[in-house]
Amino acid sequence: MGMAHRISEKRALVGECPLWHPVEQVLYWIDVQGPALFRTDVEAGVTKRWSLPEKIGCIVWHVAGGLVGAMESGLYRFTILGDTLDIALHAEGNLPPGVRFNDGCTSLDGRLFVGSMNDPIDGTASGCLFRFDRDGMSEPLVTGLVVQNGVAWSPDGGTMYLSDAHRDVQKIWAFDYEDAGGTLSNQRLFVDMTQYPGRPDGATVDSEGFLWTAANEAGKLLRFSPEGELTSHVDLPVARPTMCAFGGPDLRTLFVTTIGRDPVTRQLSDKPDDGCLYALPLSPGGLPEKPLRY
């Protein structure tokens, strides 16, 4: 297992959602609070940045091309035309005032599962998990979340993981998933993160079915077996990782986004590594992210 190294000089206030695009062979990531979209050509060592009109929670790639981002007022299609980012409404969000979308991920059958949370965070458990498919946005599938996070899928698509990163919760759950109706059932505790360092932020699953979670405030990535046992960890050069995702031509690089915002001033930290994008070689590798099909 190698060491994590910085691969972009550009910094984010709240870096999130690294997404390896299997067609373009580049890495996309976001700044939730910037708000901004980044595109990093890892081989060329070049990162481009586009400002966004609303805070953004996550991005996925669409089977018809381009990206879809979950912003404050709904889902939006992102199409890059040269150096210009074109943004168009994809689906209405219909969230109440003061609530925005946060972490999300596509299922193997091409539906988007994305959660919501209060912004700013005030400890209110008003967050929910939704499904987007050909019928648009579902009714809440999971309720009572404070800082929804960590949506990830087992390699066979039959298990979905979900976390709540708030310091008063710090839990990771597993659900059974039935793709015929896009339904979740059998919610159970997967990991009680109060027993480990850090809060459970974004997550991904490797090719062996082990869950990697970003332990925010602990400067670590933690790897859990399908039975919820901690098997290994990676130490990072920054304290607040937010999410990890596999990428690279062989999917054997783990990319990690981080928080760059000082918790007191709310501006960029004076620590130059905070908010940057990191990468480390890792074996076993990961699985390609599935496209949104609706």
79-89: pLDDT as tens digits: 999 999 999 99
Residue 251 resides in a domain: yes
**Are 98 and 126 within 8 A, CB to CB?**
no
pLDDT over 80 (residue 286): yes
- Express each pLDDT in 166-191 by its tens digit: 999 999 999 999 999 999 999 999 99
Residue ranges making up the domain that contains 86:
5-281
Task: Give pTM, 2 decimals.
Answer: 0.97
Residue 288 resides in a domain: no
Residue 232 resides in a domain: yes
Q: What is the mean pLDDT of the chain?
A: 97
Question: CA triplet 9, 216, 205: central angle to 5 degrees?
Answer: 90
Tell me the pLDDT band of 1, cut-offs 50, 70 and 90: low
Per-residue pLDDT, 111: 98
Residue 184 resides in a domain: yes
Mean pLDDT of 8-17: 96
- Each residue of 209-220: b (16+ CB within 10 Å) or e? ebbbbbbbbbbb
Residue 286 resides in a domain: no
- Express each pLDDT in 201-222 by its tens digit: 999 999 999 999 999 999 999 9
Residue 287 resides in a domain: no
Residue 217 resides in a domain: yes
CATH number of the domain residue 160 falls in = 2.120.10.30
Domain count, the chain: 1
Query: Known catalytic residue: 109?
Result: no
Residue 95 resides in a domain: yes
The residue from 103, 201, 206, 274 that is catalytic is: 201
Per-residue pLDDT, 16: 98
